[in-house]
Structure 1
Amino acid sequence: MSGLKRLPLLFKQPVRRASFMDKMSKDVRSKNPLKWTDYGDGLNASRPPKHADIVVIGGGVMGSSVAYFLRRQAQAGVSVCVVERDMSYTRASSALAVGGIRQQFSVPENIYMSLYSAHFLRNIKQYLCVDDRDPPDIQFNHQGYLTLASPDNAHILEENFKLQTELGAKLELLSSTGLKERFPWINNEGVEVGAYGLENEGWFDPYLLTRSFQQKAESLGAQYCRGEVIGFECNQVDKGMGVPGYYQGQGKRIKSVKVRMPNSPEVIDVNCAMAVVCAGSWSGEITSMLGIGQGSAEDLLDVPLPVEPRKRYVYVTHCPDGPGLDFPMIINLDGVYARREGLGGNYVMGSCPFPDQTEPDCDNLNVDYEFFEENIWPSLANRVPAFENLKLKSAWAGFYDYNTIDQNAIIGHHPAYPNLLLATGFSGHGIQQSPAVGQAISDLIFEGKFVEIDLARMGFERFISKRLVKEANIY
């Protein structure tokens, strides 16, 4: 914790600096040449430009948050181009996520990012409102997480609770008896203790958050382009051009990003000063085009970006006699979760595969209904007896940008490419961390360092130095 910096401004003003665009009148902004496209649903995204100062690869919630903060913080004349191959977001992880936010982590950086993002989301109408449009409503349900622990794992949850509260999270630690008193609908058998979030936890609509970031970023001048990144053109960095914080100036610089137009063989080279990879589950494929993971230790390209897609199922059920408004996002002892969806007796449920099961095939978005019957329903019916009478209504599958090494975010520069930044590998935490990460990437570019939250430990270099960042989860 000693290396982690928390500024007094953290919970007072997530966006610290008024940008050039903010200082201009509405009429002047509407005529500003930086505003290439009309903000809207993004389906009519423009062609990529021949030049953009910063190219953001991926226009989901992470890429759109980065684009928003870049344009908010940018000096006049700094152009931002966002390249996204699926502007409908039909297969995007952002749109298919559950949309939860919590501070119940054991890594301080994750706790801080979640606290920052919670403050941003609570004030989203102030930050992401676009001119005369209706203020964005992401349907934030302020209901805490309830994480349960068995006698064997109670000490881990208690240690996590101590850290979380020390860093500013508002939680309550409940004994097995206290759980039953607070939540009469629960079966507390096998539960030693539970941690319940009192503030800044809950869930929201991830699709609406993605669109809100996108529309605001476009209104500030970010250009969204539909296309697929298929390669890069790079220049060698001279050995004598040492860059502070890098390995004596070794490596290359990205000169341009090659974007193939949809339904066409045409490829446009977008010359740029910087590129930010926010491609989610496919970030590993993008960076492999730069030779990352295919070189040697001497050129800092021997370690691949450890990000790949992992498929997760989400099930929507109906139980008219189930718990009501006092039902939080409950995390059972085995990691199976459930939360309320609206007020009509509907619930969202799911889980990661159990240790003895293989990961699902990521070539499609098909749903495994047997997984629900064999794993999800029995677990939750035991913990919440009313769920014995639930009925499965629908289901969907989505992808995580899964960090295969330590399951935590990868944020910051790549050591072999001084003008390449990464914001990926969130392993299911990307939706809730997106505001904090957007601010962090913007600070790295414009300030040359992390300002709000010190995320240096989350950089790619940890895979080279073997200083991994792991969560002490209780399941």
Structure 2
Amino acid sequence: MTTVVVIGAGAVGCAAALHLKTAEPSLDVIVVEPDYSYAKAATGKGSGGVRQLFTRPENILMSQYTLDVIEDWQAWGTIDGTPPPELSWRPNGYLFIVGPADLETLAGNYETHLACGVQAEWLEQAELIARYPGLVSTDLAAGVLSPRDGWLNPKVFFSVLKAKAEAAGVEFLTDRVVGFDQTGAVVRAVQLASGRVIAVDSVVNAAGVHAPELAGQLGMSIPVEPMRRHEHYIETEHDANHLPFVKDVDGLAVHAYRDGVSVGKVDFDHPGGEDFTIDASDYTDRVVPAMADRFAGLGRLTLRESWTGLYDQNRFDGNMILGNWPGQLDNFYVACGFSGHGFMHALAIGRGLAELITRGSYQTLDLSRMGYQRILDDQPYAEEGVR
């Protein structure tokens, strides 16, 4: 029997395992994960946002696959006749806003959105002011809204994804991959902390922030590191439920949550490291001024909760690294460097990996530009404008 080991049981690992079993039910698919509490994993800590407002077509089309699943949630999530739990999907849309300095970039990106089938709307300043009274828009030049997009409960989505993989026959092990047996360009086996050795035909490295150290054992250098990201739950005096998921070029990201909003202001220059501490100054020095400038219409703001999680940040260009290293590691596939976008793209990533492993090439969506070769060739493939 052909055996595939998937390292990491987060959203990407489970999606890969599910698509592998769906593509080829005879495969022996084993997922290895040391901590099923997911205490340090990105899975479940994010906003649950799904958006099409990217500038690289691959990212747009991957999001569209996820949106198709969300819109077919009752059928897709039903397992053995049991319907899925409520997804808490909020299709308020995503809104990217810019000032005059970034107007030309936004306009160019808007053309890309339309070319990729996004039902995007261009909103001039007057329209922003009329639609979103909680949003301070007097200094804005324009915005782009994608009304199909929104956000959901990521823990519910993930629980169903993992349950579907289990129902399909995927085996989940509680263990840790600590090494590999390699012959030439082929990984022959994975070594586990328990002492077990599993002979493999293929390996998927979906270990998140730990993916680079595992790949490094095989000589594959990956420019990805953990980067702390803060999120804050703020109660608002005035209702925020009418707002879309708002993002700007400075890293501010705000969406309705509970009795107010969930806010993050990504610091892309934050040094790497597995750091989960909460820095109070992130809220006082970065979020408070940004909210005062942009969301004064929401009235009094009261901080209720703060938490942190880790991006597996690709310092090279901010986009995923997906696939093998041809001629050097033919059957070892990496899936990392999502830089905050892994959850919304997990399904398409899993499908792409399954196609590579079972068919030898991408069949549904060509993701080759997200491959490792661009790292070797020093050819970044970054998003433009709002990230």
2:296 maps to 1:379? no
Please give the per-residue CA displacement for 1:367-414, whole angstroms capped at 9, x wherever unaligned: 112111111121122211134511000111101111110110111122
Alpha-carbon distance change, 193 to 318 in structure 1, aligned in 2, over 3 angstroms = same
Check whether the contact 1:52–1:270 (CA below 8 A) recurs between aligned residues.
no
2:5 maps to 1:55? yes
Counterpart among 313, 321, 346 of residue 410 in structure 1: 321
Check whether the contact 1:332–1:380 (CA below 8 A) recurs between aligned residues.
no
Check whether the contact 1:150–1:333 (CA below 8 A) recurs between aligned residues.
no
**Cα deviation, residue 424, structure 1:** 1.1
- 1:163 alignment partner, SS class: helix
For the residues of structure 2 that align with 1:285 and 1:52, how far apart are their CA atoms? 26
Counterpart among 157, 181, 203 of residue 233 in structure 1: 181
AA at the equivalent of 2:151? W
AA at the equivalent of 2:217? M
**Cα deviation, residue 52, structure 1:** 6.4
Structure 1, unaligned stretches of length 5 or more?
1-50, 237-251, 261-265, 293-303
Check whether the contact 2:247–2:386 (CA below 8 A) recurs between aligned residues.
no
Q: Partner of 2:187 in structure 1?
A: 254
For the residues of structure 2 that align with 1:308 and 1:52, how far apart are their CA atoms? 32
Check whether the contact 1:117–1:433 (CA below 8 A) recurs between aligned residues.
yes
For the residues of structure 2 that align with 1:193 and 1:407, how far apart are their CA atoms? 25
Counterpart among 204, 210, 213 of residue 161 in structure 2: 213
Counterpart among 201, 223, 226 of residue 309 in structure 1: 226
**Cα deviation, residue 351, structure 1:** 1.4
Q: Partner of 1:421 in structure 2?
A: 333
Check whether the contact 1:61–1:209 (CA below 8 A) recurs between aligned residues.
no
Structure 2, unaligned stretches of length 5 or more?
none
Root-mean-square deviation over aligned CA pairs: 1.6
Counterpart among 281, 286, 289 of residue 370 in structure 1: 281
Q: Partner of 1:337 in structure 2?
A: 253
For the residues of structure 1 that align with 2:14 and 2:288, how far apart are their CA atoms? 36
2:243 maps to 1:327? yes
Q: Tell me which protein shows more strand as a share of its residues.
A: 2
- Tell me the matched-pair count: 386
Counterpart among 373, 382, 385 of residue 470 in structure 1: 382
Q: Partner of 1:18 in structure 2?
A: none
Counterpart among 260, 263, 267 of residue 195 in structure 2: 267
Q: With structure 1 as the length reference, what TM-score do the two structures score?
A: 0.78
For the residues of structure 2 that align with 1:283 and 1:85, how far apart are their CA atoms? 14
Please give the per-residue CA displacement for 1:206-260, whole angstroms capped at 9, x wherever unaligned: 2222221111101110000011111000112xxxxxxxxxxxxxxx200111111
Counterpart among 252, 256, 262 of residue 348 in structure 1: 262
- 1:314 alignment partner, SS class: strand
Check whether the contact 1:381–1:387 (CA below 8 A) recurs between aligned residues.
no
Counterpart among 434, 438, 446 of residue 350 in structure 2: 438
For the residues of structure 1 that align with 2:16 and 2:114, how far apart are their CA atoms? 29
Please give the per-residue CA displacement for 1:20-53, whole angstroms capped at 9, x wherever unaligned: xxxxxxxxxxxxxxxxxxxxxxxxxxxxxxx861
Check whether the contact 1:82–1:224 (CA below 8 A) recurs between aligned residues.
yes
Percent of aligned positions with the same letter in both sequences? 28
Larger Rg: 1
2:204 maps to 1:276? yes
For the residues of structure 2 that align with 1:174 and 1:142, how far apart are their CA atoms? 18
Check whether the contact 1:380–1:387 (CA below 8 A) recurs between aligned residues.
no
**Cα deviation, residue 87, structure 1:** 0.7
Q: Partner of 2:368 in structure 1?
A: 456
Q: Partner of 1:153 in structure 2?
A: 102
For the residues of structure 2 that align with 1:204 and 1:173, how far apart are their CA atoms? 25
**Cα deviation, residue 128, structure 1:** 3.1
Q: Partner of 1:204 in structure 2?
A: 152
For the residues of structure 2 that align with 1:232 and 1:276, how far apart are their CA atoms? 13
For the residues of structure 1 that align with 2:353 and 2:274, how far apart are their CA atoms? 31
Q: With structure 2 as the length reference, what TM-score do the two structures score?
A: 0.96
**Cα deviation, residue 354, structure 1:** 6.2
